[in-house]
Chain A
């Protein structure tokens, strides 16, 4: 089975969620997570491989742009169109306050490359959104009994 955490970008809150899902723990500073705020990886629009959970499921982070729910629908329908079952690929949207601005932040980072922009987003997420992300990941685990 494949597990996708999707959001407006694939290198911020969704990446934290994917790491929380796999390890139940993340570095104190999310900016230290591999690929965090890497706008080039997000730019391509392809899923970013994060790792494997203890049940052997491959876990990915994916940035879909502003309409996350539409992207979820398309991915789930594509899974069926390609002849797979719904449980072959689970999609969990991660929503945090302010995530609508993350694609714009990525664009700014592509013009003015600076690690400080990524660190600022990491600080914001750590200070205000971590409980929300943890809750969404736990809810997902509960729903699919992935503990």
Chain B
């Protein structure tokens, strides 16, 4: 199964969710700023990455985990991807997971300042605080997704 975590920029919440899914980071304790920055793609994307489906890794069940930045397209983007998969006869192969409902304002403002404005030193501390605040909500989302993937692969 292909699991695509998507958020505004494909740079923060989706990357953290993918990292949690793959066990790159412990789900039991808040990550430090340096642990976050060590994650692949975390706060490192640019405008060319919007719309790009980037592989992060394979989980222990062989599912491929991706991240995607879809700007402010909301759930419409997931419907579009699932619709395409359905037409190709691969609907059961795709799980598109929207991370935006677990994102807080600190993440939005910090991420925007760091990635869109380019003021990294200003945005990153705000982003890190927001990411830590949202951490366990993202853990919850990943747990639900892993369960869905497991259930889906058994159907």
Contact = CB atoms under 8 A, between A and B. Distances in A.
Interface of A: 2, 4, 44-47, 58, 60, 62, 64-65, 67, 69-75, 77-79, 81-84, 88-89
Contacts of B75: 45
B41 to A, nearest CB: 15
B79 A74 contact: no
A67 B73 contact: yes
Contacts of A69: 51
Contacts of A45: 75-80, 83
Contacts of A46: 79-80, 82-83, 86
Contact of B51 (A4, A62, A71): A71
B132 interface: no
Interface stretch (B87-95, B115-123, B146-154): B87-95
Interface residues of B, number: 29
A82 B80 contact: no
Given A65-B73, A70-B71, A82-B90, A75 B84 contact: yes
A78 B71 contact: no
Central interface residue in A47, A58, A77, A78, by most chain B CB within 10 Å? A78
B50 interface: yes
A2 B70 contact: no
B2 interface: yes
Central interface residue in B2, B68, B87, by most chain A CB within 10 Å? B87
Contact of B79 (A44, A82, A89): A44
A2 B87 contact: yes
B87 A58 contact: yes
Contact of A47 (B50, B73, B77, B87): B87
19 contacts: A2-B87, A4-B84, A45-B78, A46-B79, A60-B87, A62-B80, A62-B83, A65-B73, A67-B51, A70-B70, A72-B51, A74-B68, A74-B81, A77-B52, A79-B88, A81-B2, A82-B2, A82-B94, A89-B87
